[in-house]
Amino acid sequence: MNKLKYILLPILFMLAGAMLSSAQEKFSRNLESVDFIPKGQWIAGVSMNYSQSNQNNYQFLIIEGMDGEVYSFKITPTLLYSFKDNMAAGVKFGYSRSRSNLDKAEIVIDSETDYTAENFYMISQDYSAMGVYRYYFSLGHSKRFGMFAEAQLDLGFGQSKLRNGSGDDFTGSFMDNFSLGIGVAPGLIMFLNNYSAIEVNVGVLGFNYNSSKQKNDQIYLSKTHSTNANFKINIFSISFGVLFYL
């Protein structure tokens, strides 16, 4: 009986291994790679944003009697090269400028507490350069709709000036800013034809470092440094663009 056991056990193990191997060979996900962006394509585009608003005796919540003007402008050109099927790398550049001119505004908290701001003026401009790597993949077998995962390395600097009040109450400050960021921004893309597409992407995670140096009234100097990490969808980083595939 013991001899029979020693003979049957190896046979049973061999049969179990053969059945497991056969089951593994039959299973297949049938995943196929589609050349969504072929090697050798240049990808170029630009996105712009402009907004302007004017307030005349504007009231909102605790703000009353606001008079002023605000405008902002931003342009971001993009240039990428597909060095391998569905893979591209390149750069994005950015320039933004904003200005706020507040003639008068009153903040009323209650009947006995209120604050008045007058002659407030601020202007700022920022420059940025971003290294980009993208991996594209199609939705199913479609060559019109797809997605991409984008890794970003962003370097930026800028300046801003602020002045407030008038006469003896006049104050002013000048600020230099520096920023460094690493992030990931997945997106969706839809081709309008063979050479142009629209896309939307949103930042989901990243690391940012910011440094600023400020001089007040040409006398007082202050510095700030901050770091933050983001591991969730940032709705304020959603961007839309039009790109051309040449």
What is the total count of domains within the chain? 1
| Domain CATH number, residue 221 | 2.40.160
Give the mean pLDDT per block of 10 residues along the chain (246 residues).
50 55 52 75 84 68 67 87 91 88 67 65 88 86 83 89 72 85 86 85 79 78 80 66 84
Residue 110 lies in a domain: yes
pLDDT at res. 210: 87
Residue 26 lies in a domain: no
Residue 207 lies in a domain: yes
Residue 144 lies in a domain: yes
Q: Which helix (H) or strand (E) holds 17?
A: helix 2-26
Q: Which residues of 160-197 are buried (b: 16+ CB within 10 A; e: fewer)?
A: bebebeeeeeeeebebebebebebebebebebeeeeeb
Expressed as residue numbers, the domain containing 132 is 37-245
pLDDT at res. 16: 57
pLDDT at res. 63: 64
pLDDT at res. 14: 59
- For residue 165, give every residue at least 6 positions away whose Cβ sits within 8 Å of its Cβ, in sequence order, or none: 118, 119, 171
Q: Which residue, among 101, 103, 98, 135, has the nearest Cα to 117 in the 3D structure?
A: 103
Residue 117 lies in a domain: yes
